[in-house]
Structure 1
Amino acid sequence: MTGQLLRYTSPSTPDQFAPRFSQIATFMRVPVAETIGEADIGLFGVPWDGALTNRPGTRHGPREVRNQSTLMRAINHATRINPFELARIRDMGDVPFTRMFEVEASHDEIEAFAAMLVAENVLPLAIGGDHSVTLPLLRAIAKEPVALIHIDAHADTTDSFQGSKFNHGAPFRRATEEGLIDPAKTIQIGIRGTQNTSDGWDFSASAGMRVVFCEELHDRGPQAIADEARALVGDTPVYLTYDIDSLDPVYAPGTGTPEIGGMTTHQAQVLLRGLRHLNYVGADLVEVSPPFDTGNVTSLAGAALAYEILCLLAEVRAGSATGKED
């Protein structure tokens, strides 16, 4: 045998400088957590889509976002944030499901998984999954009503559908009813698309939520909307939820309920980069559906926007005392 001897490296600790196509995929190429407490920020998958009202497949979202996230590198070219230097970031795996055919039982399992992280002072960043998963995540995180930045094509404040109150079009109506979010400090950005009833829009307005339809975002620009969101939220603990269908289907065909007239990927980046230095208590990115994708463009967009969200969380986490040491 000639040449340099190889040294075994555990696949649980990926090499950030290895070729993008090699090694076992983890979110953003971060190490797999061996214990919960070793992480400052925990990335995890929620591979579940049992509350969909339209095209299925978002249960496959976390796996493909993991694959595409291996294309992410360390330093954000626009903000120069390197989240991996600011915080200990780990892949926590996926929420394990034992009753996936029961909506409320599955939501309980999502809540229990996220609660384990919160109990160890780990800031959660979830990759779904359909948008109903945000409700149990909020149940785990919100000890009192939190502010909400909700980026989506749909308000998701409709009521029951086909007899279910917990479908993916209803999480923020339920969250309001359960006292998990403060409607007066909630902003919904990018809303658009035809509806058979105005019930969801009406609920958002009557509850006091700020609804930014996509026409307004296009007219005013994403930076102006981000500035408004920051002013609305202030110092209040805030949860950020990003539905990939906020993007126009040109940029995100692989989703359950596509709506034309949406944001470009650049507008989405500008919007997220304008949301720095808020008091984040958690975040998610949802509704990537690989079976309907084309050339992995939706999964890639999901991974890239999840990276932007990770930068927001890492910058804020680095500025707060965690009580943890390496």
Structure 2
Amino acid sequence: MTTQGLFALWLTATVLAHGDHDHQKNVAGPHKSLWYNTLPGDGGTQADSVFSGISTFGRLPYLPCLSHKDIDYDIAFIGAPFDTGTSYRPGARFGPSGIRQGSRRLNLYGGYNVPLDTNPFNSWAKVIDCGDIPVTSYDNTYALQQIENGHFSILSRPPTTDSNKPGPSLKGKTLPRVITLGGDHTITLPLLRSINRAYGPVTVIHFDSHLDTWKPKVFGGSPSQTASINHGTYFYHAAQEGLLRNDTNIHAGIRTTLSGPSDYENDGYCGFEIVEAREIDTIGTEGIIKKIKERVGTKNPVYLSLDIDTLDPAFAPATGTPETGGWSTRELRTILRGLEGVNLVGADIVEVAPAYDTNAEHTTMAAADALFEIMSIMVKKGPLSVLDIDPAEDQEAKDL
């Protein structure tokens, strides 16, 4: 039997085994610390431990979504292995595989998120890992187009749950959520272009130690259009292209040095408010959560972009441009959990460069745990068909 035939047979068996997907549990069923596979010959079973087998995010089922348009899901993980927009340390092209490796033990005890009182691996949502978008390392312009098109292919198809119900997209449909594993932070520009095709301008929560709104002539110069788009300028381009909602975006965790006060002025043109990392010393995690939620609201679609350098290098050394004075992993996870109720339509995590990690995989585990909080929030919110959209604010977004 051919490879395609085997895949078709497996896919058919999966569908028959799980029946109607509407409001069903995850396609893989409850994840346990041990998976059992039938042994050939004697018909027995073999325990598959969390440290064995092929790595997917949280040991989710892998399905080749990009090459099979009929695969459906509610939440999909997709990798974007791109790092040729970095200004300091490259290596984030290995981020997707590193994060997957760091996520292996998320299901060690079954995947239940105690603080959020939910299990994102065993819920109403069908969650899968779609693998990686094919990305060239020789042509940045073409690579960003590949990322946009690959992401939109995953984003624009009907979800498993409530696909026949209205949702907040431009076409009034319910769409799945996509969580992207980067990649350097340049990838957020093509991801926002894809999101814009589906939703129009969106509000952005940006966790980072850097502003990333620099004008190209300030950050690295701009000898060409290709060079002007990098991991420090992508929000400038996003603002120029009308991808962002005005005056609803927010940075959190900022602590970078600047070329001067004008950098803050330029940041204002892109519609961002700034929460400095050091503010945690005076207002605490609750104060930071309050600032973010007051800025972005709870009524409209929000995109979350998380640079792992939000964490202090003591907790996440494996990143492209580390900055001391950052938050701890515990503090970041607390802040992420505090965003429960925000209407997250998509997210990414970027700048994980495993080559600089410790042997204990501190950075990749921290990245995986942060995504565990994000996907838990998405699951608790329910299908996007239930988003509470404010008509006045929605019209304001369409008028931008």
State whether TM-score is above 0.5.
yes
2:204 pairs with 145, 148, 152, which one? 148
- Of structures 1 and 2, the larger Rg is shown by 2
8 Å CA contact 1:44, 1:127 repeated in 2: yes
Letter in 2 for 1:302: A
- Could you say if the C-alpha distance between residues 200 and 88 of structure 1 is closer, same or farther in structure 2, counting changes exceeding 3 Å? farther
CA distances 1:214-247 after superposition (whole Å, capped 9, x unpaired): 1123321122211221222221210001000000
2:149 pairs with 87, 112, 115, which one? 112
Say yes or no: does 1:17 pair with 2:33: yes
2:381 pairs with 316, 320, 324, which one? 316
Aligned to 1:305: 370
- Secondary structure of the 1:239 match is strand
Aligned pairs for 1:255-274 (under 5 A) are 255-274=319-338
Unaligned stretches of 5+ in structure 2?
1-9, 12-26, 35-48, 158-174, 388-400
Aligned pairs for 1:151-170 (under 5 A) are 151-160=207-216, 161-163=220-222, 164-170=227-233
8 Å CA contact 1:153, 1:192 repeated in 2: yes
CA distances 1:248-274 after superposition (whole Å, capped 9, x unpaired): 000011001100110011110111001
CA distances 1:13-36 after superposition (whole Å, capped 9, x unpaired): 696432220111101111112555
* Distance across 1 between alignment mates of 2:77 and 2:258: 34
2:308 pairs with 244, 251, 261, which one? 244
CA distances 1:84-141 after superposition (whole Å, capped 9, x unpaired): 21311010110112x3221121110000011111211221100100001011001001
* Distance across 1 between alignment mates of 2:271 and 2:179: 27
* Distance across 2 between alignment mates of 1:109 and 1:180: 18
* Distance across 1 between alignment mates of 2:307 and 2:384: 27
8 Å CA contact 1:192, 1:259 repeated in 2: yes
Aligned pairs for 1:89-238 (under 5 A) are 89-97=127-135, 99-120=136-157, 121-142=175-196, 143-160=199-216, 161-163=220-222, 164-234=227-297, 235-238=299-302
8 Å CA contact 2:311, 2:327 repeated in 1: yes
8 Å CA contact 1:40, 1:317 repeated in 2: no
- Identity among equivalent positions (%) equals 36
- Secondary structure of the 2:366 match is helix
Q: How big is the shift at 1:199?
A: 4.5
- Could you say if the C-alpha distance between residues 171 and 319 of structure 1 is closer, same or farther in structure 2, counting changes exceeding 3 Å? closer
8 Å CA contact 2:213, 2:270 repeated in 1: no
RMSD between superposed Cα atoms in Å: 2.1
* Distance across 1 between alignment mates of 2:81 and 2:261: 30
Letter in 1 for 2:57: F
Q: How big is the shift at 1:320?
A: 3.5
Say yes or no: does 1:63 pair with 2:79: no
Q: How big is the shift at 1:201?
A: 2.6
8 Å CA contact 1:28, 1:70 repeated in 2: yes
8 Å CA contact 1:33, 1:39 repeated in 2: no
